[in-house]
Structure 1
Amino acid sequence: MAHRYPRTVLTCLALVAVMLLAACGKERVPSSPLPKSGGSYHSHKAGPSPKATFRPYTVNGVRYYPLKSADGFTQKGRASWYGKPFHGRKTSNGEVYNMYNMTCAHKILPMNTVVRVTNRSNGKSAVLRVNDRGPFVGTRVIDLSYAAAKSLGVIGPGTAPVKVEAIGMAGHPPSRSIAREVAGAPYYIQVGAFTEWGNAEHAREALVRQGFRQSRVRRAEVDGRSFYRVQAGRFDGMDRARRAHALLKSRYPQSFVLRD
């Protein structure tokens, strides 16, 4: 015998069914996703709070001792990057991570240290600010934001050999030695890299004919293989380099400005 329910009961049952179906259709977000590209790992709970920037901390059983000063700090090693899985989360110094800002994570540099990171495989460099701790994977020395990794050409390969140089603190002028170095450093525009010196020399001569008389070829070793980088120049300021780059990038779309 069929049971008859009041219309109000049937309406409530229908609403519950609709809500259950809607919930099943939502995408589930992993509780602690890891980035696919750089394979970085950040442990914000273990990292220091803004009030304890220099206090030692432990991650995965390893004790880290942040430096009290970054003066003269340089380091070579491998860089990775981290993006969407951490976008919007808090960094180790309490800020909200924005993958489109030029920031980075380092295990021991003081928070707000300004560093120049140079990709040793392509010569690209960028100035970044430390606002996070990491990477805690293998022997990697620095973790780049998405924007920083893109500017340095690290997005595709996921990691790259880099040189890290501390050049100051955010909100403070750089030291006198660094200020002299930056003020006197010339700029160049790298237009290409060749495996044959003869091809690189032909490209340099073409630049000279275009009026870039101080263009040069620089040899570099990457994973035991020689590359010859052709660089147009020289330019005594970023503004002059950018104006020249605007003229060259239509012919050399992969070109970029670098500082010597």
Structure 2
Amino acid sequence: MTNDRKFFLFTVIIFLFLGFHEPVLAQTTDVQKGQASWYGSKYHGRKTSSGERYNKNHMTAAHQTLPFGTKVKVTNLDNQESVIVRINDRGPFVGNRIIDVSEVAARKLDFHREGIGQVKVEVLELPGDYNPANAGFYTIQTGSYFDLEHAQTLSQRLKAFDKHLPVELQEQQLGNKKVLRIRAGRFENRQQAQAFNDLLKEEGLQGLVKEA
């Protein structure tokens, strides 16, 4: 590794430690009331902030702070129609709107023609790997394994690459099996996480940058 690379790695590590002491908690208020909007054909097929492709026919939505994968119940306060959507995008960023639902969800809520509606948003389920202490940060998911030995081996390689790198081994239930997910680092923004992921790539240890 060149001296420039070492200096860059050292700088990223400093950013890592700066993030440990003042965690920013996500706003996971159980109930919100406010204005909702929707987005449709113009964005159909485009990548969302979570990396998924937006599908106007799927029951999804954008929210400014809720973790990706959160399931919420959205109720139109004018007619009491409600739907359950999954958060997979960021937004809306217009006025004081609190959620941006897919086109099909807007039709079911019956505010598609108006474009906006007054709604209540209730959090039903947070993603299984959500940790409120990590909210507002980014991490690198470097692998998913069913075998504990393989997961531990990769965790050790990551720690050997950088002894200061936080490495977390999470266990989740997937059907009848348990899956082990490895997450490395705790970065203040996506750019820092991606820069560190580029360094991991040189050692064949790269993963996917995700919101923690």
Shorter-chain TM band: 0.3 to 0.5
Q: TM-score, normalised by structure 1?
A: 0.39
Answer 1 or 2: higher relative contact order, Cα 8 Å, separation at least 6.
2
